[in-house]
Amino acid sequence: REMPVESLLDRIDRARMIHKLLTEFGEASMIGAKAIFDGHVTPMNPNEPTRSHVYLHNNIFFSRAVDAGVDTFKITQGDKAARKSASRDASCMGALFKLDIPELHTLATVLVDYLGTRLVCQSVVPGILHGERTHTLLYGAVEATSPLVWDKEMHDLLETSLGKGLMVATRPVPTLPLSDERMSEIEKLKTVALEAINKDVEEKTEGKSPTTNICGPIEVKAIRGSDQRKYVLDLTRLTPRDANWVPKSEGGTGVWETESEKTSTTKAQKYIPSSLDDNEWSMAVLRPELTSSLTHKKMTEWFQNKAKSEEKETALKSESSEKTSEEETESKE
């Protein structure tokens, strides 16, 4: 990405090199996924359950698209939600990559569905595997009980890239964004270290505002690697949620609730879920193309209305000037 782009030939060479690297990365990811399922790669955390295993093979980080539990910072729960979250993250990463912001970097991401399991294959942030001193968290949160980190320079960069390029507005979110239910679940499963966790959270949140201005999805993270480049991760819900899959009590249309009631009273096969316990349907978000098309439509209407209002103003001004000129000639006569 740092190749020169001054001339057309430079841009063509750069595009060819990027395409070559991404193609080779995809091929290496598929080979690595097969090696993992064949048992040729040792997990980095062998003492944890199989579903939580992560792997490092050929400098590619492999993880399963499943709900790994409360240790990871996630607003949603459930394996189905995690599976959809991975595809949304890859799609949003691609949208940000197309903007080609010089100071903002993304990770090469490939999803491999193999033997009924979805693997997320990503390049590694430089220094992230060598301790906290080699990288810096600039934005967001990594641990479930940690408050959101905020950096002005990073926030301004995200407003320039995500805000202007992808039309994402800055909004205040809770500094500890996990819901009370999620926090109570964490407390139940971590009763042994609960006092230490609560003390750590109190120290981190002391003197902080209860809300933090975030430009992007609430899961977004920005990390400065050991190479001093800024990397953005977890852009799962970069576009708004589909209001049809949001309950009416939470401000949505509640269409799925109505359809679920209809199908439950008939003998028709139920395609609409009776509940959203898995949080799978919270991943029903609008496509970036739709938001872009809607924005262009609204902007076109705004420009058309502005042109019409300007035409009316000029017409009124010309009429008033004609009247004043007629009055002046009459007064002279």
Inside any domain, residue 305: no
What is the DSSP secondary structure assignment for residue 332, as one 8-state letter?
A: H
145, 186 contact by CB (below 8 A): yes
Inside any domain, residue 317: no
3-state class (DSSP) for residue 315: helix
What mean pLDDT is reported for the chain?
78
Model pLDDT, residue 268: 46
**Residue 136 structure tokens:** 């810096």
Are 180 and 252 members of one domain? no
Beta bridge partners of 44: none
What residue spans of 105-230 are helical by DSSP H?
Answer: 152-158, 164-165, 180-189, 194-205
Model pLDDT, residue 148: 84
Segments of the chain scoring below 50 in pLDDT: 73, 192-198, 201-202, 204-205, 267-269
pLDDT in tens, 198-230: 455 445 445 555 788 888 888 888 888 888 888
Are 81 and 142 members of one domain? yes
Model pLDDT, residue 272: 54
pLDDT in tens, 126-162: 888 777 677 788 888 877 667 888 888 888 888 888 8
Cβ contacts of 200-206, under 8 Å, gap ≥ 24: 200/145, 201/145, 201/146, 201/147, 201/176, 204/146, 204/147, 205/147, 205/175, 205/176
Are 126 and 226 members of one domain? yes
- Domain extent, residue 278, equals 243-283
Model pLDDT, residue 293: 87
Are 225 and 252 members of one domain? no
Cβ contacts of 18-21, under 8 Å, gap ≥ 24: 21/108
Are 254 and 276 members of one domain? yes
